[in-house]
Structure 1
Amino acid sequence: MSILEPLAARYATWLRLPAEATNDTGDEDPALVRAMPIVLRVERDPQPCRTALLEAAAAASIAVCLDERAEPEGPWHDDVDVWVRGRIRKVSRRARGAHWEAVQDLPGVTITVDGAEARAFVPGLVVETPKVLSRLQISGSELPPDEPGPAPDQGPVLWLNPGVPMTVGKGAAQVGHATMLLAALLHASGRDDDLKTWTANDFRCAVRTPTPGQWRELHPGDDPDTAWRTHGTTAVRDAGFTEVAPGTVTVIAQWRP
Structure 2
Amino acid sequence: MSSLNPSAEPENVSRDPDEAPQFVLPLVVRIEKAAPPARTDALETAARAVLTLLADEHALGEGPWAQAVRDWQDARIRKVVRRARGAEWRRAEALPGITVTGKATEVRVYPPVPLDGWPKDLARLQVSGTDLDDPEPPPAPDRAEPVLWLSPDLDMSAGKAMAQAGHGAQLAWWALSDARREEWRDAHFPLAVRTATPADWPTLTTSGLPVVRDAGFTEIAPGSCTVVADHPALRGAPQAR
TM-score normalised per structure 2: 0.88
Secondary structure of 1:127's counterpart equals coil
One of 58, 66, 75 as aligned partner of 1:86: 75
Instruction: Tell me if 1:209 matches 2:199.
Output: no
One of 9, 13, 23 as aligned partner of 1:6: 9
Report if the CA contact (8 A) 1:38-1:92 is conserved.
yes
Matches within 5 A, 1:156-195: 156-187=146-177, 192-195=178-181
AA aligned to 1:170 is K
Further displaced range: 103-112 or 140-149: 140-149
Report if the CA contact (8 A) 2:146-2:231 is conserved.
yes
Report if the CA contact (8 A) 1:7-1:181 is conserved.
no
AA aligned to 2:147 is V
CA displacement 1:72-91 (0-9 Å, x = unmatched): 12111110111111110111
**CA shift at 1:102, angstroms?**
1.3
**CA shift at 1:140, angstroms?**
1.4
Q: Which residue of 2 aligns with 1:58?
A: 47
Q: Which residue of 1 aligns with 2:236?
A: none
Q: Which residue of 1 aligns with 2:237?
A: none
**CA shift at 1:247, angstroms?**
0.3
**CA shift at 1:7, angstroms?**
4.5
**CA shift at 1:126, angstroms?**
2.3
Instruction: Tell me if 1:252 matches 2:238.
Output: no
Q: Which residue of 2 aligns with 1:19?
A: none
Q: How high is the sequence identity, in percent, across the aligned residues? A: 40
Give 1 or 2: higher helix fraction.
1
**CA shift at 1:113, angstroms?**
1.1
Q: Which residue of 1 aligns with 2:214?
A: 238
CA displacement 1:128-150 (0-9 Å, x = unmatched): 21111001000114112441100
d(CA) in 1 for partners of 2:8, 2:46: 22
Report if the CA contact (8 A) 2:210-2:229 is conserved.
yes
d(CA) in 2 for partners of 1:155, 1:253: 11
AA aligned to 2:65 is W
The structure whose RCO (Cα within 8 Å, separation 6+) is larger is 1
CA displacement 1:217-254 (0-9 Å, x = unmatched): 2112xxxxxx44xxxx2110101110010100100110
**Which 4+ residue blocks in structure 1 deviate beyond 6 angstroms?**
none
AA aligned to 1:255 is H
**CA shift at 1:194, angstroms?**
2.5
Instruction: Tell me if 1:34 matches 2:33.
Output: no
Secondary structure of 1:128's counterpart equals coil
Report if the CA contact (8 A) 2:7-2:59 is conserved.
no
Report if the CA contact (8 A) 1:79-1:124 is conserved.
yes
Q: Specify every segment of 5 or more residues in structure 2 that has no aligned partner in the other structure, as ranges.
A: 234-241
Q: Which residue of 1 aligns with 2:37?
A: 48
Report if the CA contact (8 A) 1:50-1:168 is conserved.
yes
AA aligned to 2:192 is A
d(CA) in 1 for partners of 2:200, 2:126: 34
RMSD between aligned residues: 2.1
Secondary structure of 1:236's counterpart equals strand
TM-score normalised per structure 1: 0.83
Q: Specify every segment of 5 or more residues in structure 1 that has no aligned partner in the other structure, as ranges.
A: 14-21, 221-226
d(CA) in 2 for partners of 1:204, 1:76: 24
**CA shift at 1:9, angstroms?**
7.4
d(CA) in 2 for partners of 1:127, 1:48: 29
Report if the CA contact (8 A) 1:59-1:176 is conserved.
yes
d(CA) in 1 for partners of 2:11, 2:160: 22
**CA shift at 1:3, angstroms?**
2.4
Report if the CA contact (8 A) 2:7-2:69 is conserved.
no
Report if the CA contact (8 A) 1:38-1:119 is conserved.
yes
